[in-house]
Amino acid sequence: MSHRFIACFMEESEKAISRGEKAIIHHTRQTGRQVHVDTSRQVHADDRDFDMKSMLQDIQKKLNENQAMMNHVVDRVDKLSSLVNDIKVEQDQLWSENERLSSENERLKDRVYRNEAQSRRNNLLFFGIEDEKGESWETSEEKVRNFMVNTLKLDGGDHFNLERVHRLNTKRSPRPIIAQFSFYKDKEVVKRKARDTLKEDKTYRMSDDFTKEVREKRAKLRQYLQQFRSKGEDCYISYDKLIAGDNIYIYDWGKDKLISVGKRLHRTTDRRQENTTLADDSEEEEETASAPQ
């Protein structure tokens, strides 16, 4: 009995010991695993801290580089702005100088035009007088004097002082004759006589010697002249102006249209009796005075 009890006790003790050893081993394993996990987590946390610091350092480095670049760009922009301002000041000066030169050029052109117009003031063009091949100046002058005496029936026409008389170089036949009178009033006497004498005679015509600019303006004005006449308006062209009714017009090249520049004074005489218009103003010849043949 005792032997069997002892054997059972020993067997149970061995089982208890075995279970205890297994529990100890299991606990040891679990504890080791926990230690390993905790250690691994600490290592990973340290790695993350190191990575964050490294990233922050890189970001700060990039920020510093960008700031330096921005400072460089701002400095260049400031220099460019200063340069642009200098260029703008210089450009404004150039514009101002250009406007001054343009204004001066217009004044000089206007002076040249006025001088040229003044130099032509005593000139008169004769159209329709018989032409001859190789006609000399003397012959042209003689024909003009004969025309004034015999055709215009102008007393003393052969005694007017003529500075120069010659044919114009043109393909028109007969070629017009340009005559320069010594005195403006003598030219006006001839024009007034022509108005009375050549009213119905279309063979001969006369015209002032206008500059190219004035002729171009008159060509434009004649287009409007016909429009006014078609409406029954009393109208005519005087030098570079169109007179229609009581209004005075000029042609504006910039606006390409007729513009009103004022009113004319009350007139008590017919315009064809005035010495400021031509005998046939609406059909003025477009020839220009040129060098003699």
Q: Which domain holds residue 273?
A: 120-283
pLDDT of res. 261: 87
pLDDT of res. 32: 53
**Domain end (from 75, 98, 119):** 119
For 73-109, b/e burial (b = at least 16 CB within 10 A) is eeeeeeeeeeeeeeeeeeeeeeeeeeeeeeeeeeeee
> Helices in 148-207 by DSSP H: which ranges?
184-197
Higher pLDDT among residues 292 and 141, named by residue: 141
pLDDT of res. 280: 40
pLDDT of res. 20: 57
At 164, is the pLDDT very low, low, confident or very high (cuts 50, 70, 90)?
very high
* Number of C-beta neighbours around residue 50 at 10 A: 10
pLDDT of res. 43: 56
At 287, is the pLDDT very low, low, confident or very high (cuts 50, 70, 90)?
very low
The percent of residues above 70 in pLDDT, for the chain, comes to 73
User: How many Cα atoms sit within 13 Å of 51 on the Cβ side?
Assistant: 6
- Do residues 135 and 270 share a domain? yes
- Do residues 104 and 202 share a domain? no
For residue 142, is it within any domain?
yes
- Do residues 114 and 128 share a domain? no
At 289, is the pLDDT very low, low, confident or very high (cuts 50, 70, 90)?
very low
> Residues 106-158: pLDDT tens digits?
888 888 878 888 889 999 999 999 999 889 999 999 999 999 999 999 988 77
Return mean pLDDT, the chain.
Answer: 78
User: Taking residues 86-112, what's their average pLDDT?
Assistant: 87
- Do residues 109 and 128 share a domain? no
For residue 207, is it within any domain?
yes
- Do residues 70 and 173 share a domain? no
